């Protein structure tokens, strides 16, 4: 299968491979949760992963961040196999930004401290410099004026934008989003998606698990459809949404569109 269906596709697909999953298998006991996954995400590319609940999308994201180990195959980031432990693993976590459905901010730290903690502790950046960079990022996601508040004082959409700024503060090579808008009230979804679209336009490499098909259509270079632990189909959003090839994808789309 190829993602380059038309010559007008963005150049992202020609970027060098950044995240490569090569014949990856994982089991949870008897459950074959990732089945022979081959996936290459190129530098600057936005890959949207969709599929029914339980198909292995979160496990895939967590494996790229090594929050889950894999049983077979290999995952590499920027040409290096994922490290197993120690300092190298901490460094990897810094290079792979992750945004979850639940925002996971530190409740007893201010918004600013939430964003500067990683750069200061993990990257060894001086506080004044970390503060400056954090304020730039908070400004970018529209939260700079709330920097002194605590997470509970912000709406869900605002907290999620802080979570994105926090991940960006580590200067990640790739950003993983696992259903970042699923826990949000409808009126807050757009403000988070807008930040993600902006990020995509700035050339960030992104893997996004989402049910927001509008985002997939406009921001994705490629849609990957998973079912039962396997990649069933991958294509440009145009092709995928207008002309899904597999019965599983047709069935899924008929239920959500």
For residues 41-60, which are near ligand ADP according to CB under 6 A?
Answer: 51, 53-59
Within 10 A of 79 (CB to CB), how many other CB atoms are there? 9
Burial of 120 (0-12, 13-18, 19+ CB in 10 A): middle
Within 10 A of 228 (CB to CB), how many other CB atoms are there? 15
Residue 66 interacts with ligand ADP (CB under 6 A): yes or no: no
**Residue 213 C-beta: closest distance to ligand ADP, Å:** 16
From the list Mg ion, ligand ADP, none, partner contacted by residue 160 (C-beta under 5 to 8 A by kind): none
**Residue 52 C-beta: closest distance to ligand ADP, Å:** 7
Nearest to 206 by CA among 99, 93, 69, 88: 99
Instruction: Using the minimum distance from each CB to Mg ion, give the nearer residue, 3 or 49.
Output: 49
**Residue 57 C-beta: closest distance to Mg ion, Å:** 5
Instruction: Using the minimum distance from each CB to Mg ion, give the nearer residue, 50 or 92.
Output: 50
Rounded to 5, what percent of the chain is helix, strand, coil?
40, 25, 35
For residues 175-234, which are near ligand ADP according to CB under 6 A?
Answer: none
Residue-wise DSSP of 174-200: EEEEESTTTTS-HHHHHHHHHHHHHHH
Nearest to 103 by CA among 179, 28, 27, 216: 179
Instruction: Using the minimum distance from each CB to Mg ion, give the nearer residue, 183 or 253.
Output: 183
**Residue 234 C-beta: closest distance to ligand ADP, Å:** 16
Residue 58 interacts with Mg ion (CB under 5 A): yes or no: yes
Binding site for ligand ADP (CB under 6 A): 28, 31, 33, 51, 53-59
| Residues near Mg ion (CB under 5 A) | 57-58
């Amino acid at each position: 299968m190829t993602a380059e269906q038309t010559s007008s596709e963005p150049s992202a697909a020609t970027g060098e491979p950044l995240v490569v999953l090569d014949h990856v298998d994982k089991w949870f006991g008897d459950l074959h949760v990732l089945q022979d996954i081959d996936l290459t995400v190129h530098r600057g590319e936005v890959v949207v992963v969709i599929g029914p609940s339980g198909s292995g999308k979160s496990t895939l994201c967590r494996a790229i961040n090594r929050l889950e180990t894999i049983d077979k195959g290999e995952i590499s980031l920027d040409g290096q196999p994922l490290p197993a432990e120690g300092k190298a693993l901490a460094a990897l976590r810094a290079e792979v930004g992750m945004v979850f459905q639940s925002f996971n901010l530190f409740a007893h730290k201010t918004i600013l401290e939430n964003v500067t903690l990683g750069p200061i502790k993990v990257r060894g950046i001086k506080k004044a410099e970390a503060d400056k960079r954090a304020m730039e990022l908070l400004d970018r996601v529209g939260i700079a004026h709330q920097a002194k508040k605590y997470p509970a004082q912000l709406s869900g959409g605002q907290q999620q934008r802080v979570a994105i700024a926090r991940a960006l503060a580590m200067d990640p090579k790739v950003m993983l989003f696992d259903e970042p808008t699923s826990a949000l009230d409808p009126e807050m979804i757009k403000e988070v998606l807008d930040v993600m679209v902006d990020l995509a336009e700035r050339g960030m490499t992104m893997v996004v698990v989402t049910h927001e098909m509008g985002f997939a259509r406009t921001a994705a270079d490629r849609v990957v459809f998973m079912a039962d632990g396997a990649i069933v189909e991958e294509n440009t959003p145009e092709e995928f949404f207008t002309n899904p090839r597999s019965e599983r994808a047709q069935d899924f789309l008929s239920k959500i569109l």
